[in-house]
Amino acid sequence: MASVTLIAYTPSPEYTIANAAKLCYSPSSIETVREGLTDEKVADFVNMLAEIGHASPIEHASFTFGIEGVSRSLLAQITRHRIASFSVQSQRYVREKQFGYIIPPEIAEDDEALALFEESMKRDQEVYDRLTVLLKAKHEKQFLSEGKDEKTAARLAEKKAIEDARFVLPNACETKMIVTMNARSLMNFFHHRCCNRAQWEIRDVANQMLALVSHVAPNLFKNAGPSCVCGPCPEGKMSCGKAAEVREKNRRIKAGE
């Protein structure tokens, strides 16, 4: 299953945000804006921003996560969050000699479905390997005819071969990435992806990310999560109808329980 690590973040993120907020609302200079910012006043500034909906100061804090044990299907979803930076292990440059894959829980719980799924993964690997061999041989011959030495021809041929062979790899194929978001983007991410209606895999990743940032910036993220945590569910007839359950789960995540 997914594993999420908080690799780095803005030092003293709430203090940094409080500096930005204080500058907006006081005649302070850059030299004096930090004066008098006790832990209590930092918390007051962060809480005030949440109350009045002034979100731009929280963009000054950013968080970088390492995410692994996730599918290419999740990759397609998480990269829809545009105000973020992504570095993903490339299938163009890294050969999938024995690709790992993510098994959806519903499939894992059904013996017949699981057997069919695993057979499909095995078949995909075999086709990928065969395509890589065929294409590499073709491209290597071409590069040798162009005057490349054997080592260079083999290296270039494999890279070109796996570029096309990867097209048979499934959405289940395991990948890993490093993701950076500022706090405002994270709030939006949690709003959508911690929701019960989010797909199970990205919801698990989002909840792990929320637990990690809540530990280092508890005031900043105390109201983070799906919209039903601090107000009504906006999903209408599509609502899961379990707001109380979601709020309790959200509380436990932030508390590290």
Extract the tokens encoding 100.
């790992």
Q: 24 vs 18, 45, 56, CA distance in Å?
A: 10, 11, 10
- Judging by DSSP bridges, how do beta strands 85-88 and 62-71 pair with one another? unpaired
d(CA 85, CA 7) in angstroms, rounded, equals 14
DSSP secondary structure of 113-143? HHHHHHHHHHHHHHHHHHHHHHHHHHHHHHH
Return all residues near 247 (Cβ < 8 A) that are at least 6 apart.
Answer: 228, 229
Catalytic-residue membership of 80: no
Q: What angle do CA 87, 89, 94 make, to 5 degrees?
A: 145
Torsion-angle region of 236 (φ positive above 0: left; ψ -120 to 50: alpha; else: beta):
left
Which entry of 72, 95, 166, 193 is annotated as an active-site residue?
193
* CA atoms of 91 and 77, how far apart (whole Å): 18
**Residue the block writes with tokens 């078949």:** 123
Beta bridge partners of 62: 182
Phi–psi pair at 56, nearest 5 degrees: -60, -35
Q: Look up residue 149 and give its amino acid.
A: D
Tokens read off for 173: 């194929």
Q: List residues with catalytic annotation.
A: 193
